[in-house]
Amino acid sequence: MSSENGSAPMGSGTAVKTAEAVLEVHDIHTYYGSIHALKGISLEVRAGEIVTLLGANGAGKTTTLRSINGLNRPRSGSIKFEGRDITQTPAHEIVRRGIAQSPEGRRLFPRMTVVENLEMGAFQRNDKAGIKEDMERVFGLFPRLAERKTQNAGTMSGGEQQMCAIGRALMARPKLLLLDEPSLGLAPIFVEKIFEIVKTINDEGVAILLVEQNALMALDHADRGYVLETGRIVLSDSAEALKTNEQVRKTYLGES
């Protein structure tokens, strides 16, 4: 079931949902300066799926997301979204195609209000009515944000900022949502809440690629998962299978 460099890994029994791939990443190599961070990553996300990337710090999870969203271009390999190649597409064009992200560390605009942050999420859209509608939808998902509309994002708590970051990504009306460590540094009650909402968003038809340290939570909610180690995918399977995989249990679920 393990897969080294090469074609997209399709572990046995993975086909939880048999839809076509929205995102196809094929054998990408990405560098940070001279550091070879991704050594041939291949993965795919199909319509309606939640796919999770597991791995230790420095395994290349965030770099994978940064390759997909255009902030770190891969030196070789290809990335296709809805069948079209986006490997060399600039970051600001990629969001227009339908990929939005809640980045690691949230990266809100600290000196803008919650509403302004959400508006920035819809920067590339022109449909005023639709934007207003989506903003109401975000406030529906996160009533806490509605209470803090005019507060500067930088002054909110970590959990509220995370909600705002996810809300901001939703404002782009994405077809694929990249979530990087949505539960990092949050109180357990917030973690539950965030994952509930991720599920809700997914039920509305948005495919999700989720990077998460909290492997148990991630596997509980995902359809499939990939395990990364030092820039390579070493394992890929359905979330159910990964949860019972001995190696995964030892390394990521804290069992001895």
Q: How far is the CB of 106 from another protein (least distance, A)?
A: 9
108, 156, 186, 241: residue in contact with another protein (rule CB under 8 A): 108
CB 56 within 8 A of CB 49: no
Vertex 230 angle, CA 227 and 231, to 5°: 75
Q: How far is the CB of 124 from another protein (least distance, A)?
A: 3
- 47 interacts with another protein by CB under 8 A: no
Residue 66 has what DSSP assignment? H
Residues 6+ apart with CB under 8 A from 170: 100, 121, 134, 137, 138, 141, 177, 201, 206
88, 124, 157, 244: residue in contact with another protein (rule CB under 8 A): 124
Q: Can you tell me the distance from the alpha carbon of 9 to that of 86, in angstroms, rounded to the nearest whole number?
A: 20
SS3 state at 53? strand
Q: Is 229 exposed, middle or buried (0-12, 13-18, 19+ CB in 10 A)?
A: middle
- 79 interacts with another protein by CB under 8 A: no
- 91 interacts with another protein by CB under 8 A: yes
Site size with another protein, rule: CB under 8 A: 27
- 59 interacts with another protein by CB under 8 A: no
Q: How far is the CB of 113 from another protein (least distance, A)?
A: 12
Q: How many CB atoms neighbour CB 77 within 10 A?
A: 18
- 112 interacts with another protein by CB under 8 A: yes
- 86 interacts with another protein by CB under 8 A: no
Q: How far is the CB of 101 from another protein (least distance, A)?
A: 5
- 168 interacts with another protein by CB under 8 A: yes
Instruction: Return the bridge partners of 228, or none.
Output: 55, 233
Between 6 and 123, whose beta carbon lies closer to another protein? 123
- 74 interacts with another protein by CB under 8 A: no
Stretch that binds another protein, among 45-53, 75-83, 97-105, 237-245 (CB under 8 A): 97-105
Question: β-pairing, 207-211 with 224-229?
Answer: unpaired
- 103 interacts with another protein by CB under 8 A: yes
164, 172, 176, 201: residue in contact with another protein (rule CB under 8 A): 172
17, 96, 132, 149: residue in contact with another protein (rule CB under 8 A): 96
User: Which among 63, 141, 54, 142 is positioned nearest to 104, based on CA atoms?
Assistant: 63
SS3 state at 45? strand
| Contacting positions for another protein (CB under 8 A) | 69-71, 90-96, 100-101, 103, 107-112, 116, 119-121, 123-124, 168, 172
